[in-house]
Amino acid sequence: MRIAPRTISRFLASPTTRKGLDVPNISRQRPYSTHPPAARLNIPTDFSTTSLLAHSSQSALQNTELDAEVRNGTTKRMNLFQSINDALSLALAADESVILFGEDVAFGGVFRCSMGLAENYGSERVFNTPLSEQGIVGFGIGAAAEGMKAVAEIQFADYVYPAFDQLVNEAAKFRYRDGKEGRHVGGLTVRMPCGGVGHGALYHSQSPESLFSHIPGLRVIVPRSPIQAKGLLLAAIASNDPCIFMEPKALYRAAVEQVPIGSYTLPLSKAEVLKEGSDLTIVSYGHPLYTCGAAIEKAEKDLGIGIELIDLRTVYPWDKECVLSSVRKTGRCMVVHESMINAGIGAEIAASIQEDKETFLRLEAPIARVAGWSIHMGLMFERFNIPDVARVYDSIKQTVEY
């Protein structure tokens, strides 16, 4: 059915070739991470300097969304998989009704997100399931219906489709159809690694978030960083609505920042303005925010403009008010995401902007969408498919020069 996951996922998530993997390549540098020698825009993200990550304790604790106790605490350097592991550990420690399960989670998970948890919290609470996605989600729904906080893992978002019926017809509609009885499966959180990773091809690269944004009843969350992943995951687990939590796998090891060690949540369905600006609003979420950050830096310098960058964080139900008020101010908008343009998150945002009477009148340029083409992710073509700095830069230029 699929490639041996342990091998491929380590390979996928690791920024460097690991010892012991039989890769017949003498060069230490992977060919797909190189960039053309004269490139000015398409330079790989330097995660150690990006302003989207908190590189010091001080900057991490400045976050006003954290409560006072956490802000007065300390931080620890973590990458994305470590912060998810930290969040899961805190959730398991705080509430006995939390259980964690999926394919290969017991030994630590193919991306190391559940490392040490089975040993710490017992094999009854952190366990492997048979290889069946519909079974995993159905099982999670049943456990949540009986009051558990069920955190299910789908090994790759590409493999969530066998569970689509359980998510769409069951989890999303459970509260609605139970009516007065008031039972629900809000305790369910379904985690899944998503997004491109350089060489994941058709079935290790997908970002199916817009499929779930068409489903009332589900909350769809995509974090961009370790701090966010921890706070949003703890919020998803605490939420009384079923949540789809999509983890950009390319950031598992790459994104490293200082993460507050206390337990904290970040608000769901609330966007975050990462950077203020007056000429253009860019809306994005997850991994492409780093691409946007790099493109903005170049474009602001080259074009002498100020760009506002918004991280949606929750892509459905999304923070429409935040986006609309920004676009009313800037008069221009661009949406950037990895998944395909057709009926993607960008379509919903663009339509919402043009149908809001007040915002429509303020528009000075067509709303642009920079996203994956409406094709599948062919192995050799990923870097031409996923929005890169050049495409985002070009779209910024065209939008402000319209």
Partner 1 sequence: MKVPLQRLARRPQPFKAHPFLRPLHSQRWNSSLSQKPGAAGVRFPGAVDSKFTSALFFEHPSTYPAIPTYRCMSPDGDIIDPAFTPASDTLALQMYENMLSVSIMDVIMFDAQRQGRLSFYMTGQGEEGTCVGSASALEIEDVVFCQYREAGVFKQRGYTFEDFMSQLFANKKDHGRGRNMPVHYGSKALNIHTISSPLATQIPQASGAAYALKMQRLTNPNIPPRIVACYFGEGAASEGDFHAALNIAATRSCPVVFICRNNGYAISTPTLEQYRGDGIASRGIGYGIDTIRVDGNDIWAVREVTKRARELALKDGGRPVLIEAMSYRISHHSTSDDSFAYRARVEVEDWKRRDNPITRLRKYLEKKGVWDEEKENEARGRIRKEALMAFAQAEKEKKPALRCMFEDVYEEMTPEVKAQMKELKDVLDRYPEEYDVAEFEGGKDTLSQ
CB 215 within 8 A of CB 243: no
Nearest to partner 1 of 146, 364 (CB atom): 146
CA distance 191 to 195: 13
Map the footprint of partner 1 across residues 298-317, applying CB under 8 A.
317
CB 196 within 8 A of CB 51: no
Residue of 184, 199, 204, 287 marked catalytic? 204
- Binding segment for partner 1 (CB under 8 A), chosen from 40-48, 61-69, 234-242, 248-256, is 234-242
Angle CA 168–159–116, to nearest 5: 105
Nearest to partner 1 of 216, 378 (CB atom): 216
By three-state DSSP, how is residue 337 classified?
Answer: strand
Phi-psi region of 102 (alpha: psi -120 to 50; beta: other; left: phi over 0): left
Q: Per CB under 8 A, does 358 bind partner 1?
A: no
Instruction: Clarify whether 276 is annotated catalytic.
Output: no
CA distance 93 to 34: 43
Q: Per CB under 8 A, does 124 bind partner 1?
A: yes
Q: Per CB under 8 A, does 191 bind partner 1?
A: no
- Binding segment for partner 1 (CB under 8 A), chosen from 14-22, 30-38, 214-222, 392-400, is 214-222
CB 245 within 8 A of CB 233: yes
By CB under 8 A, name the one of 67, 146, 276, 364 that touches partner 1: 146
Map the footprint of partner 1 across residues 148-187, applying CB under 8 A.
148, 150, 162, 165-166, 169-170, 173, 175-184, 186
CA distance 88 to 237: 9
Query: Closest distance between partner 1 and the C-beta of residue 155, in Å?
Result: 15
Locate tokens 């049943």: which residue? 142
Which two tokens mark 140?
């999670």
Instruction: Clarify whether 204 is annotated catalytic.
Output: yes
Q: Per CB under 8 A, does 87 bind partner 1?
A: no
CA distance 375 to 391: 17
Interface residues toward partner 1, by CB under 8 A: 96-97, 99, 106-107, 119-125, 127, 129-130, 132, 134-148, 150, 162, 165-166, 169-170, 173, 175-184, 186, 216-217, 219, 239-241, 269, 317, 320-321
Q: Which residues are catalytic?
A: 133, 204
